[in-house]
Amino acid sequence: MPAHKSVTKVPHKLAGPTITQTLRECSHHCPLVIFKVVSFDVEGTLTTRRFSQVVWEEAIPKLYSEKNDLSFEDAKAHVMREYAKVGEERVEWYDIRYWFDHFALTNYEGLLKNQKQEITVYPEVTRVLSKLGKDHKLIVSSNSSREFLKYELETLEKYFYRIYSATSDFRNVKKTEKVYEKICNLLGIEPSEMIHVGDLKEEDFNAPRKAGAFAYHLDRTAEELDKFTVKDLKEFEARLEELERT
C-alpha cells in the first residue's frame, strides 16, 4: 500500500468529462490521488487473445468432429452456428461447461490444459506487475470465465490480491458500470481509489469511469495516443506514477 500523503479528494462518482477536466486542471506536480487498487483486464492486456481463440474456434470444433465423425470444416461450421444461436448477450455464450454439455463433449479441463501452450504474456507485464505491486493492491477485472483465467493467469496469479470474473462471479456478459461498483464494494474502497486499464474502449474505459474509477484505454496498435490511451503497460505505469507524483 502507498505511504500516506496529502491527497486532493476526488468526489465519489466522479466520471466522464469531469475526470478529464480535473486532470487538465492539475499541474504535473499536483498530488491528485493515491490509488489503493490497480485493476487489470486480462486478454489483450496481460495476455494475447490466442488461447481463447484456439479453444473456441479450433479445439472444440476438432473434438466435436472426432466425436461425430465429421470433417473439421463441417464440425466447425456447426459449432459456430450453435454459438451464434446463443449470442454474446447471454452468459452461457462464455461458459465452456455449458458448451461441453450442449455438444455432449467431456473433459473441458483437459482441453484447456492441452491448449495452454497458446497463452502468451506480453513482454512488459511481469516487470510492471512486480513494480506496481510493491505499493498497490493489484486485482484482475476480466470478462473471461474462471475456467479460462485459471490457465491465463497461471504464471501471474501471485501478483494479484483478488481476481474477478464478470461472467463467473457476477453473471454479467460484460464489465459494466455496476460490475465495477460491485468490485469496489467487495474491496471496501471508493471507486475513486481504483484505476483500471484494459483494451476494450467501452468495458475497460467508459464503464469504470462511469462507476467513478479512473481508467486508461490500452491500444497496442495505436499510432496516435491521447491523454487517456496508452500503447503498453510500461506507459500505463508511467502515467500512474505521474498521477501520484508529489
What is the three-class DSSP state of 43?
Answer: strand
Nearest to 196 by CA among 169, 121, 210: 210
Q: pLDDT at position 69, please?
A: 97
Q: pLDDT at position 222, please?
A: 79
Give the pTM.
0.85
Q: pLDDT at position 162, please?
A: 98
pLDDT mean values, one per 10 residues, the chain (246 residues): 32 37 40 83 98 98 98 98 96 97 98 98 98 97 97 98 97 96 98 97 97 97 86 96 82
Q: pLDDT at position 33, please?
A: 66
Sequence ranges of the domains in the chain:
17-48+121-244, 50-118
Kindly indicate whether the domain formed by 17-48+121-244 is annotated with CATH number 3.40.50.1000.
Answer: yes
| Cα 123 to the center of its chain, rounded Å | 17
Q: pLDDT at position 122, please?
A: 98
